[in-house]
A = this chain, B = another copy of it.
Amino acid sequence: MLVAVCGPNEATVEESMAAERLGELLARAGVTIVCGGRGGVMAAVCRGAKRGGGATIGILPGTNSHEANEWVDYPICTGLGEARNAVVVASGQVVIAIGGGLGTLSEIALALKLGRPVITLHSWPLDPALLERARARVEEATTPDEAARRALELLRMAHPN
């Protein structure tokens, strides 16, 4: 089970702490983290996942695996630049967005477009009427524990037994 965690390369302390906690909780539940592989929220969620005993995949914008943060187990070198955001979210069965970067906003939008369930944590509020028109829904969590719990519920619904 892969969960995509998105968030900015330049994160606040709060965002990083939330991401690290989230990574640990998901990893303990057997989830593999897929993310953009760089710093900030991406580094924090990978660090948490490793502490939780999980695996981490970093979908990098460039072609050099040394771009990856040190907690990425599997660096995927895309060379696609910002277009790699579409690959990050397509690879998650659930997508969790933390914080307010522009890349993060693109990932929320691309995830919804692809029909992936999206959970946000301190991220972009989106116009409810436009979301409804697009038949899309974003779940807002207020803590990493709530985000993790909800992601695990969604995974269980997709893979019963």
Contacts and interface: CB of A to CB of B under 8 A. Distances in A.
Interface of A: 2, 32, 34, 55, 57, 59, 63, 65, 74-83, 85-87, 90-91, 93, 100-103, 105-106, 108-110, 112-114, 124-127, 130, 133-134, 136
A82 B102 contact: no
Contacts of A109: 102-103, 105-106, 109
Contact of A80 (B83, B125, B127): B83
Nearest to A86: B83
A127 B101 CA distance: 11
Given A57-B74, A102-B136, A134-B102, A86 B79 contact: yes
Nearest to A104: B109
Contacts of A101: 134
Contacts of A113: 82, 102-103, 106
Contact of A76 (B85, B87, B103, B110): B87
